[in-house]
Amino acid sequence: MTLGNWFALLVALVVAAEVVRALRHRAVRQERWRRFFRLRTTSWGLGILTFLLAVALAAPLLAPFDPNRQLDIVHLTNRPPSSTFLLGTDPLSRDVWSRLVYGTRVSLGIGALGALVAVALGDGLPFAALVVAIGLTSWFGTSRLVRAEVLSLRQRDFVVAARALGAGSSRVIVRHVLPNAAAPIIVSAALGVGNVLLLEAALSFLGIGVPPPDASWGNMIADGMPSIYTAPWSTFFPGLAISLVVMSLNGVADGVRDALDPREAP
Amino acid sequence: MTAPGSLLVEVRDLVKHYPGERSWFGLGAPRAPVRAVDGVSFTIASGRTLGLVGESGSGKTTVGRTMLRLQEPTSGKVLFEGNDVFGLDAARLRALRRKMQIVFQDPYSSLNPRMTVEETLREPLEIHRLNGAVSALLDEVGLDAAFAKRYPHELSGGQRQRVGIARALSVEPRFIVCDEPVSALDVSVQAQVLNLLADLQAKRRLTYLFIAHDLAVVRHIADDVAVMYLGKIVEHAPAAEIYAQPRHPYTTALLSAVPEPNPRASKQRIVLTGDMPSPAHPPPGCPFHPRCPHPKKSERCRTEPPPLRPITSGHLAACHYAAEPM
Domain encompassing residue A216: 3-67+82-264
Number of other CB atoms surrounding residue A210 within 10 Å:
24
The 3-state DSSP composition of chain A as helix, strand, coil percent (nearest 5) reads 75, 0, 25
Put simply, whether A207 touches B (Cβ < 8 Å) is no
CA atoms of B137 and B120, how far apart (whole Å): 12
CA atoms of A98 and A8, how far apart (whole Å): 13
Beta-sheet pairing, B207-212 with B175-179: parallel
Of residues A26 and B146, more confidently modeled: B146
CA atoms of B18 and B31, how far apart (whole Å): 11
Residue A103 lies inside a defined structural domain of this protein? yes
HSE-up of A170 (CA within 13 Å, CB side)? 1
Please determine, for residue A98, whether its predicted confidence score (pLDDT) is greater than 50.
yes
- Identify all chain A residues contacting B169, using CB atoms and an 8 Å cutoff: none
3-state secondary structure at position A95: strand
Please provide the size of chain B in residues.
Answer: 326
Please provide the size of chain A in residues.
Answer: 266
- Identify all chain A residues contacting B178, using CB atoms and an 8 Å cutoff: none
- Identify all chain B residues contacting A158, using CB atoms and an 8 Å cutoff: 109-112
Please determine, for residue A119, whether its predicted confidence score (pLDDT) is greater than 70.
no
Strands laid side by side in the B75-80 sheet: B34-45, B7-18, B75-80, B83-84
Nearest CA-CA distance, residue B156 and chain A, Å: 14
CA atoms of A256 and A233, how far apart (whole Å): 34
Number of other CB atoms surrounding residue B92 within 10 Å:
12
Threshold 0.80, pTM exceeds: no
- Centroid of chain to Cα B75: 19
Per residue in A139-184, pLDDT tens?
A: 667 777 777 888 888 888 999 999 999 888 888 888 888 888 877 7
Instruction: List the single residue in B102, B111, B151 with the smallest CB-CB distance to A164.
Output: B102
CATH of the domain at A142: 1.10.3720
CA atoms of B326 and A52, how far apart (whole Å): 82
Residue A116 lies inside a defined structural domain of this protein? yes
Instruction: List the single residue in B65, B97, B114 with the smallest CB-CB distance to A179.
Output: B114
| CB contact set of B111 (below 8 Å; sequence gap of 6+) | A158, B120, B152, B160, B163, B164
* Residues forming a β-bridge with B225: B51, B237
- Identify all chain A residues contacting B104, using CB atoms and an 8 Å cutoff: 157, 160-161
pLDDT band, residue A266 (cuts 50/70/90)? very low
Torsion of CA A138, A141, A145, A146, to 10 degrees: 30
Residue A237 lies inside a defined structural domain of this protein? yes
Q: CB of B164 within 8 A of CB of B131?
A: no
Residue A74 lies inside a defined structural domain of this protein? no
Probe site for chain B from A156, A165, A257, A263 (most B CB atoms < 10 A): A165
Per residue in A242-261, pLDDT tens?
A: 888 888 888 888 887 787 77
Please determine, for residue A11, whether its predicted confidence score (pLDDT) is greater than 80.
yes
State which amino acid sits at residue B232. K
Q: CB of A193 within 8 A of CB of A184?
A: no
Put simply, whether B151 touches A (Cβ < 8 Å) is yes
- Identify all chain B residues contacting A257, using CB atoms and an 8 Å cutoff: none
Mean per-residue pLDDT over chain B, rounded? 89
Task: Give me the phi and psi of B248, to 5 degrees please.
Answer: -100, 135
| pLDDT at residue A59, rounded to an integer | 84
Residue A77 lies inside a defined structural domain of this protein? no
Nearest CA-CA distance, residue B214 and chain A, Å: 22
Note whether B128 contacts A163, CB cutoff 8 Å: no
- The DSSP code sequence of A152-212 is HHHTSHHHHHHHHTT--HHHIIIIIIHHHHHHHHHHHHHHHHHHHHHHHHHHHHTTSSSPT
What is the number of structural domains in chain A? Answer: 1
Nearest CA-CA distance, residue A259 and chain B, Å: 11
The percentage of residues in chain A with a pLDDT greater than 90, rounded to a whole number, is: 5
Note whether B123 contacts A175, CB cutoff 8 Å: yes
pLDDT band, residue A207 (cuts 50/70/90)? confident
The region of weakest confidence among A53-57, A205-209, B46-50 is A205-209
B191: left (phi over 0), alpha (psi -120 to 50) or beta: alpha
> Residue A200, exposed/middle/buried by CB under 10 A (0-12, 13-18, 19+)?
buried
Beta-sheet pairing, B34-45 with B7-18: antiparallel
Computed from CA positions of residues A119, A122, A128, A129, in that sequence, does the dihedral angle turn out positive or negative?
positive
CA atoms of A254 and A44, how far apart (whole Å): 12
CA atoms of A151 and A131, how far apart (whole Å): 29
CA atoms of A135 and A112, how far apart (whole Å): 10
Interior/surface letters A55-64, b for 16+ CB within 10 angstroms, e for the rest: bbebbeebbb
Walk along chain B (326 residues) and give the pLDDT tens digit of each residue: 455 568 899 999 999 998 877 666 666 677 788 888 999 999 999 999 999 999 888 899 999 999 999 999 999 999 999 889 999 988 899 888 899 999 999 888 899 988 999 999 999 999 988 888 899 999 999 999 999 999 999 999 999 999 999 999 999 999 999 999 998 888 889 999 999 999 999 999 999 999 998 888 888 899 999 999 999 999 999 999 999 999 999 999 888 877 777 777 666 778 887 788 888 888 888 999 999 888 888 889 999 999 999 998 889 999 999 888 77
Q: Would you identify the CATH topology of the domain B7-99+173-317?
A: Rossmann fold (3.40.50)
Q: How high is the ipTM of this complex? A: 0.85
Q: CB of B103 within 8 A of CB of B168?
A: yes
Q: Which residue ranges make up each domain of chain B?
A: 7-99+173-317
The residue of chain A nearest to residue B99, with distances taken between CA atoms, is A165
Please determine, for residue A122, whether its predicted confidence score (pLDDT) is greater than 70.
no
The residue of chain A nearest to residue B92, with distances taken between CA atoms, is A166
CA atoms of B7 and B178, how far apart (whole Å): 19
